[in-house]
A and B are shown apart, each in its own frame.
Chain A
Amino acid sequence: MFNRTKLFVGINLLSSMVVLAGSSAAFAQSGSSKDRWLHVRVINSDHKGEIVRVNIPLELAESVLPTISKDRLHNGKVNIDQAHMNDVDLHALLNAIRTAKDGEYVTVQGSDQDVRVAKEGGRLLVHVKDNKGSKSNKSDVDIKIPMHVIDALFSAGKDELDVVAGLHALALQGDTELVSVKSEDSTVRVWMDSKNSSD
């Protein structure tokens, strides 16, 4: 009888050790994941001081996006309505930019806005600066998108943006700032690095 009790206790203790070993192994495995993170930070400097911080692992976005089917998003691709393109053949335009040398493509200095579109170091740069309006409405927008990300985005077809392919291409990129918007009362920053939290 005593032997059976000992056996029962022994089995229980052994099971407990197996369960604990399982948890520590799972913890060790989960701790080893190294990925690229996409960060979004919005800071409003109004009286309430609204702050939004979003940190998303690119791998997570890449694998979750294809499961969402809502409105224009299906299988990780967004349908682009050609009606809103003003008859511009985006693919032809991108092809022209891709094969062109680095340089400034568009420079507009107007009373309302200054606009600059350029290609530099394999990236498409867009800079828009507001000149008109009250000081708080003026904004400075900087967009820097690697060309291979743009290629990936437009790789799906004529009327589609392949967001997953774009994210995958982005993941191959080093630490980089993608979007920066600065105005008197707010700043927006979108960037990518290997940290799991924003600064």
Chain B
Amino acid sequence: MLLAKIALGLASTVAFAAIYTFREGVIRVDVDEFRDGGSHVHLWVPAAAVPIALRCTPRNHLENAAENIKPWIPTIRQLAKELEKYPEANLVEVVDGTDQVQIRTHAGKLQIDVHEPGESVHVAVPIATLEDISSQLTENIPGA
């Protein structure tokens, strides 16, 4: 009986965690090199983990990053805020022979796809995460 209760508790916690992760979304990075010995990187990171990871990052590293992109932080912040209003939009598409670049929003994520012979890169970041990251970087601007 005790085991059943523990299992029930665990199951509902896992369900809650899964729903929370689903809501926050997943950051996805896929890099594929289509050649012998080419690398294939497939990274799925729950977006909910990003603010936590940023809080755990050494402060001097965050300050350095914030200092470097300081002029662009207001732009990134405003862009993220505005992009949330457009969950489905093809923003930029460039096709040049077999090369293709696409920047779009899809299902509340900012997606960047690059395809060229022998290589493809796909990055998808929940738009809300961009806002979280820029907010945290703003907090870490030295002297701010």
A5 to B11, CA, bound (A): 12
**Please, which residues of chain A bring their CB within 8 A of the CB of B82?**
57, 59-60, 63-64
Interface band, chain B: 20 to 34
**Please, which residues of chain B bring their CB within 8 A of the CB of A52?**
92-95
* Contact between chains at A30 and B108 (CB < 8 Å): yes
B47 to chain A, nearest CB (A): 13
A109 on interface, CB distance cutoff 8 Å: no
* Contact between chains at B87 and A12 (CB < 8 Å): no
Cross-interface CB contact of B93 among A30, A35, A53, A70, cutoff 8 Å: A53
Interface residues of B in 1-52 (CB under 8 A from A): 5, 8-9, 12-13, 15-16, 19-20, 23
* Contact between chains at B9 and A197 (CB < 8 Å): no
A67 to B94, CA, bound (A): 26
A90 on interface, CB distance cutoff 8 Å: no
Cβ contacts A27-65/B at 8 Å (1 or 0 each): 100110101000000000000111111111101100110
Q: Given the known A-B contacts A49-B97, A64-B82, are A54 and B13 also in contact in the complex, defined by CB atoms under 8 Å?
A: no
A191 to B94, CA, bound (A): 18
* Contact between chains at A22 and B23 (CB < 8 Å): yes
Interface band, chain A: 35 or more
* Contact between chains at B23 and A9 (CB < 8 Å): no
Main secondary structure of the interface of B (DSSP, over half): helix
Cross-interface CB contact of B91 among A2, A51, A56, A59, cutoff 8 Å: A56
A196 on interface, CB distance cutoff 8 Å: yes
**Please, which residues of chain A bring their CB within 8 A of the CB of B93?**
51-54
A51 to B98, CA, bound (A): 11
Q: Given the known A-B contacts A12-B15, A67-B75, are A55 and B9 also in contact in the complex, defined by CB atoms under 8 Å?
A: no
Cross-interface CB contact of A57 among B77, B86, B87, B92, cutoff 8 Å: B86
A103 to chain B, nearest CB (A): 40
Select from chain B the residue with minimum beta-carbon distance to A10. Answer: B12
Interface residues of B in 40-99 (CB under 8 A from A): 71, 74-75, 77-79, 81-97
* Contact between chains at A49 and B9 (CB < 8 Å): no
* Contact between chains at B94 and A30 (CB < 8 Å): no
**Please, which residues of chain A bring their CB within 8 A of the CB of B16?**
12, 15-16, 19
* Contact between chains at A50 and B96 (CB < 8 Å): yes
